Amino acid sequence: MKYISTRGGAEALSFEQAMMTGLARDGGLYVPETIPTLSHEDIKAMAGLSYEEVAFRVMKPFIGDTFADAEFKDLIAKAYAGFGHAARAPMVQLAPNHFLLELFHGPTLAFKDFAMQLIGQLFQASLTRSGDRITIVGATSGDTGSAAIEAFRGLSNVDVFILYPHGRVSEVQRRQMTTPSESNVHALAMDGDFDDCQAALKDMFNDFEFRDGVRLAGVNSINWARVLAQVVYYFTSAVSLGAPDRQISFTVPTGNFGDVFAGYIAKRMGLPIDRLVVATNQNDILHRSLSTGDYTTGTVTPSISPSMDIQVSSNFERALFDAYGRDGAAVASQMDDLKSNGGFTISQGAIQALRDHFDSDRVSEETTSATITSELANSGELLCPHSAVAVNVAQSRLGATPMVTLATAHPAKFPDAVEDATGTRPPLPSRMADLYDRPERVTRVPNDLKALQTLIKERINA
Ligand SMILES: *Cc1c(COP(=O)(O)O)cnc(C)c1O
C-alpha cells in the first residue's frame, strides 16, 4: 500500500514513511493510493470481537507488512491498555434509535487518545528499529496536545513540543500539557489563536532546512496514522447495532475534519453508513462550505466547545481530493487561493460529491448549553459541550436508521461549561484526581516563526 499527496506533487511513500513524515513536501496530506474494502462477511465476523481485534482487522490492510502481525497486535494491545473502560469505546442509548459513542475513556479524557496512544506505540517501534531520533511539534486547541504529550512523555528517542493558544484552552487541558515532568516534554503557550499555532506549524514543515535539521515529525490530525486509528470505532459501534445487515448514520462534532473523515473511510471500506453529519459550533466554516460551496475563512470566535474553534479545517483537503476525482492539481490550486485570498469556491461537481456523503449543521452557544441541560434531564447523560453540539444536530435527524453520535470528550474536561448548564461540577475520574495539585511547567512564546525555531533547536541540543 502506497500513500500519495492530495496535491499530487510529492513522491509516494510507504505507510511507515507517511506516518513519520506527516505533511507532504508539496504541502498536501497523504492518503492511501486505493481504499481497501472489507467484504460483508469480513464485517459480519466482527460481531462480538474485542475492540483490539477489530482494530487489527480494520487497520491491517492499510499498514501492509510494516509490522509483523504479532507485533502489530501487541502494539494495539499496549495502546489501549491504559483506557478506563474494558470496551474502550462503549455506547449508551439517549433516545429511541439514538446512541452515544463514548470516546473519552482514554488517559486524557478525549477521543484523540484513540489515535495518539496508538501512534505513540507505532512511532516507538519504528524508531527503535531505525535508531533515529525525532522532534515532534504539534499545534493544539487543547486535546491533541495533551493526548500527544501523554503518548510520548518519557520516550528516549523523541522530543515533543506542543504549541497551544495562550489563555484559550480549558484549565484541565492546560494542566494535562504542563504538569508532565519528563524532560522531553515542552509545552509552549503561544500568543494567538489555534489557527495561528497551526499556521506556525505548517510554516515549520515548509522550511525544509529546519525540518530536516531537527528531523521534524508531525502528529497533528493531518497524520494519516491518526485518521486510520479513528476508523476502528465506526466499525465497532455500527457492528454492535446490526451492521453490515443494517445501515447506520453518524453525527460527529467537527473541527479539523479528521474524525468525520475517518467515518468516510469506514464507509468507503464497505461499512454501510447512510449519513455522516458534520456538526459545528459558531465557527461554522465546514457547515457554510458544505451548504453553500463557499469556503471562506473568517475570524475564530472563542466558544464553550474550544476544540472546534477553528476556521481552517486541515483534513477537509482529503475529502476535497476525492470530491475532485483525486485531481491533485485542482486541490493545489484551491489551496493556493485559500492562502492568497482567504478562501475558494468549491466546484459544482465537487460539492455534489461531498453532499453524497456529508450533511451538516451548526449550533449556537445558547443551544449547546441548553442541550447539556436537557440531555441530563432526558437521559441522565452529562455531555461535554462538543458532544452536546453533535447531540443537538443529531436530534433533528432521528428516524428509521439508527443514529450514533460521537461523544468526543469527558464532561470533566470542560467543567465550567457543564456547571453553567447543569449546576453540577463534574468530577475528574479518580485516576487523575490530583491534576490540580501538580506543578506546571510552560514557556510563553510569541507568534514568531524564527523565535520558535530557535527555541526548539536550543532545547533539543540542550
Ligand atoms: C479535536 C476535537 C474535536 C474535533 O475533531 P476533528 O477531528 O478535529 O474534527 C471535537 N471534540 C473534541 C473534544 C476534540 O478534542
Nearest atom in ligand 1 to the alpha carbon of residue 143 is 15
**What is the whole-number distance in angstroms between the Cα of residue 271 and the centre of ligand 1?**
22
262 within a domain of the structure (yes/no): yes
Q: 112, 202, 267, 413: which is the annotated catalytic residue?
A: 112
Residue 376 confidence (pLDDT): 97
As a whole-number percent, the residues of the chain with pLDDT over 70 amount to 100
447 within a domain of the structure (yes/no): no
Rounded Cα–Cα distance for residues 244 and 40 (Å): 6
340 within a domain of the structure (yes/no): yes
Q: Which residues of 307-345 are buried (b: 16+ CB within 10 A; e: fewer)?
A: bbbbbbbbbbbbbbbbbbeebbebbbebbeebeeeebbe
Residue 264 confidence (pLDDT): 98
242 within a domain of the structure (yes/no): yes
Residue 300 confidence (pLDDT): 86
For the chain, how far is it from start to end, CA to CA, in angstroms? 39
Model confidence over 13-43: pLDDT tens digits?
999 999 998 889 899 999 999 999 999 999 9
146: cell is 495533551
Determine which residue's CA is closest to atom 14 belonging to ligand 1.
307
342: cell is 482567504
What is the band of 66 on the pLDDT scale with cuts at 50, 70, 90?
very high
Query: What CATH number did the domain enclosing 310 receive?
Result: 3.40.50.1100
Q: Give residue ranges with CB within 6 A of ligand 1.
A: 110, 112, 143, 221, 253-259, 307-308, 386, 408-409
Residue 21 confidence (pLDDT): 86
Model confidence over 190-228: pLDDT tens digits?
999 888 998 999 899 999 999 999 999 988 888 999 999
Helix, strand, or coil (residue 321)? helix
270 within a domain of the structure (yes/no): yes
**What is the whole-number distance in angstroms between the Cα of residue 247 and the centre of ligand 1?**
24
Rounded Cα–Cα distance for residues 87 and 191 (Å): 40
355 within a domain of the structure (yes/no): yes
DSSP 222-246: TSHHHHHHHHHHHHHHHHHTTTTSS
Question: Is the predicted pLDDT of residue 359 greater than 90, yes or no?
Answer: yes
Confidence (pTM)? 0.95
Number of domains in the chain: 1
Residue 97 confidence (pLDDT): 97
pLDDT mean across residues, the chain: 95
112 in active site:
yes
- What CA dihedral angle connects 63, 67, 73 and 74, to 10 degrees? -140
397 within a domain of the structure (yes/no): yes
Segments forming the whole domain that contains residue 356: 91-107+224-422
267 within a domain of the structure (yes/no): yes
Rounded Cα–Cα distance for residues 133 and 145 (Å): 20
